[in-house]
Amino acid sequence: MTPTLTIERRIQFAETDMAGVLHFSNYFRLMEEVEHAFFRSIGYGVVCELDGMTVSWPRVSATCEYYAPLRFEDEIRLVLRVTHVGNKSLSYEVEFVRGPDRVAQGEITAICCATGESGTFRSIPIPDVLRAPLVRAASASAKAAQR
């Protein structure tokens, strides 16, 4: 497994604000986009059925720091790195890169939950079938960071 997952995309006009820059809320949408791609890359959805239960990942923390604005038609890379796999939690960082420059950095922590029929969440230990690829990704990310 690669230490990171990178996707490339272009900033759309509808994602910008009146100043012509990417609206701050869209950074969080883009982090979610690369998160979903990451889960697909390990063979699961961000919401999936396991052992007769619906497993999902509600956020308990999400932050983003902005270093330079992104504008309509900018081509960017979103780079996701798994930074921590706990008993019930998963943390990762997302780097926003335009050309050679990091223009923003976000971090998300989510909790593994079983979702009830009424929409309730109950935190659960990360199932082993998900834990194994998540731990491999975190280990690969840590090794890449040491280089």
At residue 144, the pLDDT reads: 64
pTM of the model: 0.89
Domains in the chain with CATH codes: 4-146 (3.10.129.10)
CB neighbour list of residue 118: distance below 8 Å, 6 or more residues apart: none
- Note down pLDDT in tens along the chain; length 147 residues: 345 899 999 999 999 999 999 999 999 999 999 999 999 999 999 999 998 899 999 999 999 999 999 999 999 999 999 999 999 999 999 999 999 999 999 999 999 999 887 888 999 999 999 999 999 888 876 666 665
Classify residue 89 by its DSSP letter.
E
